Chain A
Amino acid sequence: MAVATPTRAFGASIRRREDPRLITGRGKFTDDIHLANAATAMFVRSPHGHARIVSIDTSAASAHPGVLGVYTFENVKGFISGMPCAWPTTNTGDTLKLATYPPLADGKVRYFGEAVALVVAVDPNTAADAVDLVHVDYDPLPAVINNEAAVAPGAPLIHDSAPGNQAFRWSLVGGDTNGALAHADVRISQTLVNQRLIATPLETRCAVADYNPASGEVTVWVTSQNPHIHRLLIALSTGIPEHKIRVIAGDVGGGFGAKIPYYAGEALCIFASKELGVPVRWSESRSENYVATAHGRDHIQHIEVGATKEGKITALKVTAYASLGAYPSTAAPGVPTWLFGCIIQGPYDIPNNEVHVIGVYTNTTPTDAYRGAGRPEATYMLERVIDLVAAKVGRDPVEVRRLNFVKKDQFPFKVANGTLTYDSGDYELALDQALHTVDYTHLRAWQEEQRAAGKLVGIGFSSYVEICGLGPSSAANAMGFAGGLYDSATIRVHPTGKVTVFTGVHSHGQGHETSFAQIVARDLGLKVDDVDVIHGDTDKVQHGMGTYGSRSAAVGGGALHMAGMKIRAKAQKIAAHLLEVAEEDIEWVDDAFRVKGSPDKAKTIPDCAFAAYMAGNLPAGVTPVLEEQHWYDPENFVFPFGTHICVVEVDRETGETHIKRYVAIDDCGEIINPMLRDGQVHGGIAQGIAQALWEEAVYDENGQLLSGSLMDYAIPKASVMPHLELGHTVTPSPHNPLGVKGIGEAGTIASTPAVVNAVMDALSPLGIHHIDMPLRPAKVWAAIDAASH
Chain B
Amino acid sequence: MHPAPFAYKAAHSVEEALELLRSHEDAKILAGGQSLIPALKLRLTQPAMLIDISKISSLRGIRRENGKLIIGSGTTHREIEKSSLVAEASPLLASLAPQIGDVQVRHRGTFGGSLAHADPAGDWPAAALAVDAELVIAGAHGTRTVHASDFFTGMLSTVINADELLTEIRVPGEGTPGIYLKHRNAASGYATVGVAVTATHNHGRIGTVSIAVTGATPVAFRASAAEHALTGHAVSAHLLDEAASHAADGLECLSDIHAPAAYRAQLVKVMVRRALGKLLHA
Query: What are the residues of chain B within 8 A of A717 when measuring CB–CB?
Result: 189
Query: B187 is contacted by which of A124, A128, A653, A712 (Cβ under 8 Å)?
Result: A712
**Cβ < 8 Å to B, chain A residues 13-53:** none
User: A778, B263: Cβ atoms under 8 Å?
Assistant: yes
Q: How far is the CA of A778 from the CA of B187 in the complex (A)?
A: 14
Q: Is B142 an interface residue (CB 8 A)?
A: no
User: B1, A778: Cβ atoms under 8 Å?
Assistant: no
B121 to chain A minimum Cβ distance, whole angstroms, is: 10
Residue on A nearest B184 in the bound complex, by CB: A720
**Cβ < 8 Å to A, chain B residues 243-264:** 256-260, 262-263
User: B263, A781: Cβ atoms under 8 Å?
Assistant: yes
**Cβ < 8 Å to A, chain B residues 169-225:** 183, 185-190
Q: How large is the interface on B (under 10, 10 to 19, 20 to 34, 35 or more residues)?
A: 20 to 34
Residue on A nearest B190 in the bound complex, by CB: A711
Q: How far is the CA of A785 from the CA of B187 in the complex (A)?
A: 24
User: B1, A698: Cβ atoms under 8 Å?
Assistant: no
B203 to chain A minimum Cβ distance, whole angstroms, is: 30
Q: How far is the CA of A720 from the CA of B266 in the complex (A)?
A: 23
Q: How far is the CA of A204 from the CA of B260 in the complex (A)?
A: 31
Q: Is B239 an interface residue (CB 8 A)?
A: no
User: A778, B2: Cβ atoms under 8 Å?
Assistant: no
Residue on A nearest B255 in the bound complex, by CB: A778
Query: A653 is contacted by which of B42, B256, B270 (Cβ under 8 Å)?
Result: B270
Q: Is A614 an interface residue (CB 8 A)?
A: no
User: B258, A125: Cβ atoms under 8 Å?
Assistant: no
User: A776, B183: Cβ atoms under 8 Å?
Assistant: no
User: B5, A654: Cβ atoms under 8 Å?
Assistant: no
Q: Is B233 an interface residue (CB 8 A)?
A: no
Query: What are the residues of chain A within 8 A of B42 when measuring CB–CB?
Result: 287
User: B187, A654: Cβ atoms under 8 Å?
Assistant: no
A718 to chain B minimum Cβ distance, whole angstroms, is: 10
Given contacts A128-B2, A129-B5, contact A711 B187 (CB under 8 A): yes
Q: Is A710 an interface residue (CB 8 A)?
A: yes
Query: A654 is contacted by which of B2, B43, B260, B267 (Cβ under 8 Å)?
Result: B267
For A745-789 the 0/1 string (1 means CB < 8 A from B) is 000000000000000000000000000000011100110010000
Q: Is A610 an interface residue (CB 8 A)?
A: no
Q: Is A161 an interface residue (CB 8 A)?
A: no
A570 to chain B minimum Cβ distance, whole angstroms, is: 54
User: A654, B1: Cβ atoms under 8 Å?
Assistant: no
Q: How far is the CA of A694 from the CA of B260 in the complex (A)?
A: 15
Query: What are the residues of chain B within 8 A of A785 when measuring CB–CB?
Result: 266
Query: What are the residues of chain A within 8 A of B257 when measuring CB–CB?
Result: 696, 698, 706-707, 712
Q: How far is the CA of A776 from the CA of B262 in the complex (A)?
A: 14
Given contacts A129-B4, A712-B258, contact A654 B266 (CB under 8 A): yes
User: B186, A694: Cβ atoms under 8 Å?
Assistant: yes
Q: How far is the CA of A706 from the CA of B187 in the complex (A)?
A: 12
For B80-93 the 0/1 string (1 means CB < 8 A from A) is 00000000000000
B215 to chain A minimum Cβ distance, whole angstroms, is: 13
Residue on B nearest A706 in the bound complex, by CB: B257
User: A778, B183: Cβ atoms under 8 Å?
Assistant: no
Q: How far is the CA of A654 from the CA of B259 in the complex (A)?
A: 11
A435 to chain B minimum Cβ distance, whole angstroms, is: 31
Q: A706-B257, A778-B263 are in contact. List 18 more A-B contacts (CB 8 A).
A: A124-B2, A125-B5, A128-B43, A129-B4, A132-B43, A287-B1, A653-B266, A653-B270, A654-B270, A656-B183, A693-B186, A694-B186, A707-B257, A712-B257, A712-B258, A777-B259, A781-B263, A781-B266
Chain B residues near A (Cβ < 8 Å): 1-2, 4-5, 42-43, 183, 185-190, 256-260, 262-263, 266-267, 270
Chain A residues near B (Cβ < 8 Å): 124-125, 127-129, 132, 285-287, 653-656, 693-694, 696, 698, 706-707, 710-715, 717, 720, 776-778, 781-782, 785
21 CB contacts below 8 A, A to B, read: A125-B2, A128-B1, A128-B4, A129-B4, A129-B5, A132-B4, A132-B43, A285-B1, A286-B1, A287-B42, A653-B270, A654-B270, A694-B186, A696-B257, A710-B188, A712-B256, A776-B186, A777-B183, A777-B263, A778-B258, A778-B263
